[in-house]
Amino acid sequence: MLPTPLPRVYPLTDVVISGLSHAAQVTELIAGGASLIQLREKNGSPRTFFEQARLALQVIRKHHCQLLINDRVDLALALKADGVHLGQDDMPPAAARRILGPKAIIGYSSHSVAQARHALEQPIDYLAIGPIFRTNTKQDTAAVLGLEGLRSVRAMVGELPLVAIGGITEATVAAVIQAGADSVAVISALLSDPTDITGRTRSLFQKAKQ
Ligand code: TZP
Ligand code: MG
């Protein structure tokens, strides 16, 4: 079940940017206050990701946090993760819901007001919208929406939990929340200095409160 309200910071893991295993990132992120984390792995074999995710999930369970798996409904099911995060090119949310059941958390990415409108008809627990700002983390991103685009999506989706993503930093997180995001999904702002993931996470939570 999705926590309500959503934690204001929702970290995604990235082995390339952090240089750390998923489990090590999860450990640092939880120490900084994260309670909902998404494992995102775009390289390597499913077998390796499965094993890494299994170890990350052990850390998650020990701390009573929640873990979503990016893209892979099969791995989420096999690992008994808390849910899955799907993009526009992944399995449709309705199909994932049939596989994972009513209690699983299903998040869904959108990149425009039109996609967000379509997402309202899907059996999802939260909607992600982005990129809000320019980002180097994802190469094939759609056009930047800016805070104005985020406000339009917020107005359209009503009460549906809304996660903003893309280029969000300590400097912009308060404005992003102010513009209507319930939570910010963040990669590089938390992981690009692997020696200070915990401190950066703590600090982003602080800024997200203001
Ligand atoms: N989807 C839209 S932008 C993005 C994803 C996965 C990357 C976010 O990473 P960062 O480093 O927080 O900009
Ligand atoms: Mg995807």
Per residue in 70-99, pLDDT (tens digit) is 999 999 999 999 999 999 999 999 999 999
**What pLDDT digit, counting tens, does each position of 16-47 carry?**
999 999 999 999 999 999 999 999 999 999 99
Of 40, 72, 154, 200, the catalytic one is 40
Euclidean distance between CA atoms 98 and 102, whole angstroms:
8
Q: What is the mean pLDDT of residues 145-161?
A: 98
Tell me which amino acid residue 83 is. Answer: G
Euclidean distance between CA atoms 176 and 166, whole angstroms:
11
Ligand 1 in reach of 135 Cβ (< 6 A): yes
Ligand 1 in reach of 187 Cβ (< 6 A): yes
**Does the pLDDT of residue 141 top 90, yes or no?**
no
* Proportion of the chain in helix, strand, coil states, percent, rounded to 5: 40, 15, 40
Categorize the per-residue pLDDT at 117 as very low, low, confident or very high, splitting at 50, 70 and 90: very high
Categorize the per-residue pLDDT at 140 as very low, low, confident or very high, splitting at 50, 70 and 90: confident
Residues in the chain: 210
| Cα 210 to ligand 2 centroid, rounded to whole Å | 31
Ligand 1 in reach of 192 Cβ (< 6 A): no
